[in-house]
Amino acid sequence: MIYKVSYVVVGGDFPGGIKNESEKPKVGDIVQIGRVKFQVTEIHEIIPPRDDFQFLHATVKPLTEDTKAANPEKKS
């Protein structure tokens, strides 16, 4: 399955992005968009899966030093 994920950053201080992912992101995952790493806070299905493809919306927040220590990298 291919997941086309729209990443939206809380607060608007960073641009989001759209990425193809081979694994479905989960709340708590760490993702890298450009040079910055973020933690996934919400996942929403945009439309139901079709064939081997699914569109998702993910809300993310920038990692802080506290977040990095508490959550070892899960995915980049």
Mean pLDDT, rounded, for 27-32: 96
pLDDT band at residue 11 using 50, 70 and 90 as cut-offs: confident
Residue 74 has pLDDT above 80, yes or no: no
63 occurs within a structural domain: yes
Specify if 72 maps to a domain: no
DSSP 28: T
Q: Is residue 73 part of a domain?
A: no
pLDDT for the residue numbered 12: 76
What residue numbers bound the domain in which 47 lies?
A: 2-67
Tally the domains of the chain. 1
From 55, 56, 48, select the one nearest 29 (Cα to Cα).
56
What burial class does residue 7 get, using C-beta atoms within 10 Å of its C-beta: 0-12 exposed, 13-18 middle, 19+ buried? buried
Task: Look at residue 17 and tell me if it is in a domain.
Answer: yes
Residue 69 has pLDDT above 60, yes or no: no
7 is a domain residue: yes
Q: Is the pLDDT of residue 70 over 70?
A: no
Domain-embedded: residue 75 = no
